[in-house]
Each structure stands twice: as C-alpha cells, then as structure tokens.
Amino acid sequence: MKRYINILVITLVFVYFISACSDKKTDQFSVGFYNVENLFDTINDPQIRDDDHLPASRIPWNTERYNHKLANLAKVISAIKPGGFPSAFGLSEVENRQVIEDLLKQPLLEKAGYKIIHKDSPDERGIDVALLYRPTEFKPIKTEFIRLNFPGDSTHATRDVLHVFGEVKGGDKIHLFVNHWVSRWGGQAVTEPFRIYTAEKLWSITQQIFSDNPNANIVMVGDLNDNPTDKSLVEGLQVLEPKKPLAQKRLYDLGMIPYKKGEGSLYYKGWDMFDQIIVSTPLLTGENGMQVDSPAQKVIKHDWMLYHPKKGDPRPNRTSAGKYYGGYSDHLPVYIEINIGSAKDIFTIISVHNALVPLCFRLP
C-alpha cells in the first residue's frame, strides 16, 4: 500500500508541476554583462594610457588581432541567449564608442539591433562601461554617468557608473546600473577602500530611489572585483543572499548562490565571482509584474570559451597576458531573464527520493 501511495504522490506532484509551469509568460526582459578584456582599437590616443594596445607595443596589437577579437566577442554574445539576444547588455573595458560600433557590425550581432549608451570617463587606463539595448524591448528615459571622486585620493581616476532608468514592454519601469569597480591591482587591502566607497555611494543612491518608490525595480550588473561575500558587497552595498524571508527595499546578489557552490566568472588561483547581477526585492517577489526566473544568475561557460591547461582547472581563454593568446576574455558573461506579467514562488523546492526538484521548470 505504501508503494502505491508513493506513486500517487509523485504523480500528483508531476501533474502540479505541469499545471504550474505550462502557463505562457506574456513577455521577457533579459539582462547580461560581459567584461570584454581590454577592447582597444589600434590607434594611439594621447589622452589615455593605450601604449600596450598599439602595433608597436611589446605584444603587438594590430588590425588582424583587433578584428579577431571582435569576431570572438560577437561569438560569445550571440551564444548567451538561445535564439536571440539579451534585451539589455552591459559591457566593461571598452576604450571608446567606436570599438563598440565595430563590435556591433560583426555579422553575428548585426541582427540584434542594439543601440549604445556610452561616455568617455576619466579612467586612468582609458576603459569605460557601456550599455547596449534593443529599442524594441527597452526605452531609456533618463541616463546619468555617476562620477567617483574618492575622498583623500583625487588622483585615482576610475570609470563612471552608468545608471539608466527606462521602460520595458508593457510600461514597467526599471533602473539599470552598469559597473566596473576599482581592480585589486596593488593588493586587496590597498584597493578595497575604493570598492567600499563605490558600494556605499550606490547604496545611498538606491536608498533615494526606494524613498521615491519603495517597490522600484533595480538591476545592477558589473565586474565588481570582489566576491559576493566580500566587505564591499555585504557591508557597503548591504546585499543579501536570495532566500526567504525577503526584506523590503533591499538588494539581493544573484551571484551569491552559484558562488557558494564553487562557480565563478573568472579564474585566478581558483574561481572568483567578480561579475555579478544584483536585483531589488520586487524582482524576486514579482509584486510589480516583473520577476527573475531564478534566484541565481547564469554564468555562460561553453567549453569553446575555455583554455585547458595541462595541469589545473579549465579557465577563461583570454586575449593576452604576458603574451598573445587570441582568446575571448579573461571573464565569462553573466545573464538573467526577467518574466513580465507572471509571478511564482521561485524559491520553493521539494525533495523526491533525495533529489531536489525545482518548483517550476521550463517546458519545451
């Protein structure tokens, strides 16, 4: 009798899954981010430090290698969303607007129809962030480039944080932030205060957004040069791990769950999750009609994007480091999908014969 009861329970659970998950979502808004590792052109710009990316550099950076990198990056970006392209896509380490335009001219990306939001920043390396967006899926309303002036160190120039407020299909509004925080070059202890300052500044800005609209939809993407459990994130930006109970007017780091499972977006003596996607509470609850499809970001990691050393773990196949490799980037892209017009409990899981089964899975 017990056996038949177990079979009945499993059958009922399966039927519930089908009924709960088969409803058609009205629409989707997807967001991705990719640190493209020093996307420089081959032209000398005396206003920035591009000496390492010129034809006469120690590691020559010429037209052939530039075009090869553009083709490689286009291959990666076109493989992020099956059958399409992310609605909005953040980039970091781009030299100028022209390199982005050259990237979008690649055959694999021409059909995406991306528009560009970019501005040259005072960054000492000459690299910036940018946002690509598909105008059929996102309409910018307000754009600002947040300048970071570090207290007590006016000489430490870095890239701006890009903040775009806009409208998605159906009229929902969303705040998008594209980040590339100060790197760890020079040591973690020396550089951490810069990232903490950036995090605290962004926390202050989000608090103002929440004061105007407690249920604001906020998505932050970027290479933060810290892991989700580091001080800049946990104390500076005050991120939380996506789990119940959810707090109001807070930010949740969707990189936390995969990071704690050992996943990462770049490799240095092990995997780190420096590339993160952070969302506000309503995007987890779905109370505004927009909801992420998972409390964990996706790290896009195809085998062809990786370098396989003779010893050690596979890691991102980069463009150069001491010598020219001709790869893609030293980072992997991260990605989320946001469903519009439907909300479910994305945290609920059940145990069937000691196997964890998600409450809702995507049907073919």
Q: How confident is the model over 39-66, as a mean pLDDT? A: 96
* Per-residue confidence band for 1, with pLDDT thresholds at 50, 70 and 90: low
Q: Tally the domains of the chain.
A: 2
- For 128, the enclosing helix (H) or strand (E) is strand 128-133
17 with 47, same domain: the answer is no
268 with 242, same domain: the answer is yes
4 with 89, same domain: the answer is no
Q: Under 8 Å CB-to-CB from 64, ≥6 apart: which residues? A: none
258 with 304, same domain: the answer is yes
Q: Can you give the pLDDT at residue 76?
A: 98
Tokens matching residue 70: 């553009």
> Phi and psi for 152 in degrees, rounded to 5?
75, 5
| Residue closest to 34 by CA, chosen among 233, 221, 162, 159 | 221
How many angstroms separate the CA atoms of 226 and 284, rounded? 23
How many angstroms separate the CA atoms of 258 and 264, rounded? 7
Residue 232 has pLDDT above 50, yes or no: yes
Whole-number CA gyration radius for the chain = 21
Residue 92 and residue 221 in contact, taking contact as beta carbons nearer than 8 Å: no
Residue 271 has pLDDT above 70, yes or no: yes
How many angstroms separate the CA atoms of 33 and 277, rounded? 8
Tokens matching residue 9: 């329970």
155 with 283, same domain: the answer is yes
Q: Can you give the pLDDT at residue 234?
A: 98
Task: Give tens-digit pLDDT for 93-114.
Answer: 999 999 999 999 999 999 999 9
Task: Give tens-digit pLDDT for 113-172.
Answer: 999 999 999 998 999 999 999 999 999 999 999 999 999 877 789 999 999 999 998 899
Which residue segment(s) compose the domain that 16 sits in? 1-23+348-364
- For 221, the enclosing helix (H) or strand (E) is strand 218-223
Residue 169 and residue 28 in contact, taking contact as beta carbons nearer than 8 Å: no
72 with 149, same domain: the answer is yes
How many angstroms separate the CA atoms of 237 and 34, rounded? 21
337 with 359, same domain: the answer is no
301 with 356, same domain: the answer is no
295 with 209, same domain: the answer is yes
Domain CATH for 273: 3.60.10.10
Q: What is the dihedral of CA 75, 79, 80, 82, to 10 degrees?
A: 150
How many angstroms separate the CA atoms of 259 and 274, rounded? 10
> Phi and psi for 192 in degrees, rounded to 5?
-55, -40
Task: Give tens-digit pLDDT for 200-221.
Answer: 999 999 999 999 999 999 999 9
283 with 360, same domain: the answer is no
Tokens matching residue 324: 């020219």
Residue 319 and residue 329 in contact, taking contact as beta carbons nearer than 8 Å: yes
180 with 211, same domain: the answer is yes
354 with 321, same domain: the answer is no
